[in-house]
Amino acid sequence: MDYRLHEIHQLVELLEHEALGRPFDRAHAQRLAATLAEHQPEIGNSMRLICERLKNGDLRS
């Protein structure tokens, strides 16, 4: 089974930057979340929420 760990780690790093108020590539984070939602159904709901939040620029978790 392919867990796409590299993409998960990339997304974690981007979200950490967001949480710390550092600049980050919002579009790349959104693409990663969308890809993970598609390829990892067990975390799909969470990834879709992250994707939607990033799309709307909402900083709430």
pLDDT of amino acid 1:
46
41 domain-assigned: yes
Q: What pLDDT digit, counting tens, does each position of 2-61 carry?
A: 678 999 999 999 999 999 999 999 999 999 999 999 999 999 999 999 999 999 876 554
pLDDT of amino acid 13:
98
Residue-range definition of the domain harbouring residue 21: 5-56
CA atoms of 28 and 59, how far apart (whole Å): 16
37 domain-assigned: yes
pLDDT of amino acid 17:
98
pLDDT of amino acid 61:
44
Domains identified in the chain, total number: 1
pLDDT of amino acid 2:
63
Token readout for 9 is 């780690």
10 domain-assigned: yes
